[in-house]
Structure 1
Amino acid sequence: MKQTEDKKQIYFNQVYDTIKNTGYHTTAVMEAENFTPFAYSTGIFENFKIPELFISGLGPNLSGEIIKNYAEKYKNSTIPVNKKIDDLTDRFSIYFLKVHNENLQEYVLTSIKFYENRPYEYLQLIFPDLNGNFPNELNYNYDQKIIGELNL
């Protein structure tokens, strides 16, 4: 038990160092059988005054690249929610959706620990399937868990 607690403390010390040095930390949870991968930021809300970002269904490298682009492009500005965005990544268009924190409780554990009782917000990034269809469109087919409010 003590070894597990030590590992957690080492992990959180690394997270806090990353947030201190770069402004945010990206946590990626890998794909497994019957489990959709996801990634999320911690620290963006506190340091850049914009919501944290949650991404479901993409691998860790692409998610990390998108979170980095998001932080750089939107820090200290207004995020266009429920509007198609063509310039966050050169791979595909995206949308940002509002997400209630309580709907992410089983996902964003690092953020929950980091913020403790302080307020924070999240957006979910939505992307198209391999045929360019978004989740609200006919024939959409991709393993992306939609947690945010889909009002596209």
Structure 2
Amino acid sequence: MTDQQIKEYHEKVEAAIEQYGYHSTFVFGDTTPSFCYSTGIYKNFGIPEIFISALPQNLSHELIQNYVNEFKDVGSVPLDKRINSLTDRFPIYLIEAPKDRLKEYVLSSIRFYGDEDFRYVQLIYPDTKGCFPNDAGYNYDQEIVGNFKN
């Protein structure tokens, strides 16, 4: 990316945060799974930012929007518990995602927050057979940055 493209991207992120309270960034992977993450949710809604690995772009953005809508007025999110209400497609879990494990992924958030504190959760989902990581037969390339226990 050129310096101008980077500047325009940062302006786009800031405009989305100002208009919607957050921005979601999708990164296509070439040698690793694609991923999506939010920026601005922690500051504007008081709940952790969210990281999603290896789901399609539109589904990732939809899940982030549903996450914000479901938990922004609650002020907290249920960690390490099966959640059936975020999408009608499959259940999910939310786990704590250590920022030090995400520093290569969430560059817009690192820039946005600077020295301010912020938190992340990771959305964990089942494979096409309904198996979650740690289940026998689980088969998907989702990268898990936190400690998932189901």
- TM-score normalised per structure 1: 0.95
State the Cα RMSD in Å.
Answer: 1.1
SS of equivalent to 1:53: strand
CA offsets, 1:78-136, max 9 Å, x none? 21100000010010000001011010000000100000110000000000000000001
Alignment of structure 1 residues 87-126 onto 2, 5 Å: 87-126=85-124
SS of equivalent to 2:14: helix
Give the AA of the match of 1:35: T
Alpha-carbon separation, structure 1, partners of 2:12 and 2:58:
19
Q: Which of 72, 75, 89 pairs up with 2:72?
A: 75
Gaps of 5+ in 1: none
Alpha-carbon separation, structure 2, partners of 1:128 and 1:121:
23
How many residues are treated as equivalent by the alignment? 149
Question: Partner residue of 1:36?
Answer: 33
Give the AA of the match of 1:20: E
Q: Percent identity?
A: 46
CA offsets, 1:21-73, max 9 Å, x none? 000000001142x3201000000000000000000010110000000000010
- TM-score normalised per structure 2: 0.96
Question: Partner residue of 2:16?
Answer: 18
Alpha-carbon separation, structure 1, partners of 2:115 and 2:146:
22
- Structure 2 residue 115 is the aligned partner of structure 1 residue 132: no
- Contact 1:30–1:38 (CA under 8 A) maintained in structure 2: yes
Question: Partner residue of 1:63?
Answer: 60
Give the AA of the match of 2:68: A
Deviation at 1:150, TM superposition (A): 1.0
Alpha-carbon separation, structure 1, partners of 2:73 and 2:110:
22
